[in-house]
Structure 1
């Protein structure tokens, strides 16, 4: 009987893992689209998917002398506020902390290095770039 219960749990975990994998794959796809869009706008890629214990930054780019920390959000449509509305104040704080970590890891701080936070909101097939979003 315990085996049947365990098998059921394994199926559930496998299904959850598959959904997470599909979601991550979709996220990667939109991050690449956002990257290509921003490259077309003249920004230069510095780092993809910067990860630290404080969070993750999808893209770190450079616009002239300014370091640009980019959050990419995708929503199928704009119901429930859309992609831009999904970047809550808590998420913004997490991104700021990860950005400070990135700067510190390179011996920099925001007084030495001009920085900004941009948002690329993908809704359906539309891309909306919001420079200096927060």
Structure 2
């Protein structure tokens, strides 16, 4: 069986993350929301908190793996995109917000647990 393309693998990781988060009671507000400054993989609602979820998939653990890929520059881009999202969707602007990371690693994620870090970083 041929390896999945990086896009397909990323979409599969997002699907898995979305299902996991919905299974824990979060509701989807937006998926793959794009703006000039970047993209938000998932925007979810957890009770009254708007959750900006970055889904990271890496085939191998090299270079820090999935979690290691969330550096300071990436965090700033996510914060900028989240700010733009809230400006364009003022309904959610008064709600508390947080940034979560869902990390998956390994081909097909087989045997690898999904790692969900709530409030993974502050902006």
Task: Please tell me the TM-score bracket, short chain as reference.
Answer: 0.7 to 0.9
Counterpart of 2:52?
A: 69
TM-score of the pair, normalised by structure 2: 0.86
How many residue pairs were aligned? 113
Structure with a larger share of its residues in strand: 2
CA contact (8 A) 2:50 2:92 kept: no
Q: Which runs of 4+ in 1 moved over 2 A?
A: 77-80, 107-110
**Larger Cα-atom Rg:** 1
TM-score of the pair, normalised by structure 1: 0.79
| Cα-Cα RMSD | 1.6
Distance 2:95 2:78 in 1: 17
Structure with a larger share of its residues in helix: 1
- Runs of 5+ unmatched residues, structure 1: 1-20
- Runs of 5+ unmatched residues, structure 2: none
Distance 2:57 2:27 in 1: 22
